Amino acid sequence: MKPKLILIGGGGHCVSCIDVIEQGGVFEIAGIVDNAINQGMLLGYPILGGDEDLLQLRSSYGHALVTVGQIKSPTVRSRLYDKVRSLGFELPAIVSPRAYLSRHATIGAGTIIMHDALINARASIGRNCIVNTKALIEHDAQVEDNCHISTAAIINGTSIVRRGTFVGSNAVTKEGVQTHENDFIKAGSLFMGYSHE
């Protein structure tokens, strides 16, 4: 019997996460928690309530995943991750069956690796991250907690993406550079700075 998983956040990112989880076949989605949607269904899954219902839901479900997106700030995802963890939920790492994850790479709790992403050898991805569709994390790169690596972005070898950073679609980091915490790297840009060599 598959473990049941509740999803925290019912917007567009949640829809993409549902597709990844369904294709993975590891978890059964029990439903969605969202403060803005207090009833109804999303892709056939029930809305179970809002954030205030998480404590009660914990008595029935052991696994949760934060499915709120992240663009301007990691604050909401970080707060929800900390709250869900404090209630005793297990936050699994989710990897699309269409992604490539090197056996020499590591990913943290609550992180989701979307379709067609590539995570190469000795790459390290922290907790509560989004590695979105067709993103590439090259060898020896580090992505710290609460980051979003957007669609088709490239994090080149030995780069360090600091906690809370957003990397826009089709952005590229030069090899061997690092961001600041909570940086915002624009879509389509080439990120050159801050060397840590």
Query: In degrees rounded to 5, what are phi and psi of residue 132?
Result: -85, 175
Q: Are the C-beta atoms of residues 107 and 95 closer than 8 Å to each other?
A: yes
pLDDT bracket for residue 194 (50, 70, 90): low
Rounded to an integer, the average pLDDT of 128-133 is: 98
156-183 pLDDT per residue, tens: 999 999 999 999 999 999 999 999 999 9
pTM above 0.85, yes or no: yes
Closest CA to 56 of 108, 6, 3, 129: 6
Q: Collapsing DSSP states into helix, strand and coil, what is residue 180? A: coil
Q: Would you state the pLDDT for residue 197?
A: 47
Tell me what the pLDDT averaged over the chain comes to.
Answer: 95
Rounded CA gap, 83 and 94, in Å?
A: 19
The strand ranges marked E within 13-67 are 28-33, 41-42, 45-49, 63-66
Q: Is 197 exposed, middle or buried (0-12, 13-18, 19+ CB in 10 A)?
A: exposed
- For the record, the structure tokens of 78 come out as 């970080």
For 67-115, what is each residue's pLDDT tens digit?
A: 999 988 999 999 999 999 999 999 999 999 999 999 999 999 999 999 9
Residues 14-30 as b or e (16 or more Cβ within 10 Å = b): bebbbebbeeeeebebb
CA 130, 167, 132, 162 dihedral sign is: negative
Q: What is the pLDDT of residues 9-35, one digit of tens each?
A: 999 999 999 999 999 999 999 999 998
> What topology is assigned to 94-190 in CATH?
UDP N-Acetylglucosamine Acyltransferase; domain 1 (2.160.10)
CATH code reported for the domain at 4-86 = 3.40.50.20
Domain ranges of the chain: 4-86, 94-190
